[in-house]
Amino acid sequence: MTQQDVIEIFEKNKALLTGHFKLSSGLHSEKYLQCALVLQYPKIAENFAKELASRFSKEKIDLVVGPALGGVTLAYEIARALGVRGLFTERQEAGMVLRRGFAIEKGERVLVAEDVVTTGGSTKEVMDAVEKLGGVVVGVASVINRSSGEVNFGVRYEYLARVKADTFNEKDCPMCKLGTQAVKPGSRK
């Protein structure tokens, strides 16, 4: 699966949007990738997950953890491809936490899965939650890397496609200066 294959899947499913968007990070951008429109199709989610899982096939991984909401489907599908458990974190006041009786045993080796990485903030929150519970993060996997630079998680990071999309602080956003309203299609309020 090539980067172009992934981008074509997003375009075919009208999941690569253009306009004025406020991202989960708080930054503004003229492009938005709505992974839910792509991952709603089980075969696509399965294929993306199998490709990402194959890139970590030589690692010992005990479980896959993704952030709600964007990483839930992908974490589950990667876990299924690897034959391990798939968990998800949820946002609370203090950041990402495991709930619903999910547990991580001390020393378990964890792959963190995310749909789109922009700043890496949510992914790092998941990593922190895993490490606080005694898990060992061995890698990060995402469908899309849209970071402006190379995000450094301190572990191996694999993604299927890189999408260049400028991001702006609200005060520096050229679209805001033109008076257009930012749309917030993401999962964070």
Interval 97-128: pLDDT, tens: 999 999 999 999 999 999 999 889 999 999 99
| Least confident piece of the model among 9-13, 157-161, 163-167 | 163-167
For 106, counting Cβ atoms within 10 Å of its Cβ (0-12 exposed, 13-18 middle, 19+ buried), the class is exposed
Residue 124: inside a domain? yes
And the tokens for 19?
């306009």
Report yes or no on 189 lying in a domain: no
The CATH number that applies at residue 99 is 3.40.50.2020
Any domain includes 158: yes
Residue 182, in any domain of the structure: no
Decide: 76 and 45 in contact? Cβ < 8 Å: no
What tens digit of pLDDT does each residue of 126-154 get?
Answer: 999 999 999 999 999 999 998 877 789 99
The parent domain of residue 19 ranges over 3-177
Give the number of domains in the chain.
1
Residue 41 lies in a domain: yes
Q: Is residue 184 part of a domain?
A: no
- Alpha helices, DSSP H, located in the chain: 3-12, 35-39, 42-55, 72-82, 121-132, 174-177
pTM of the model: 0.90
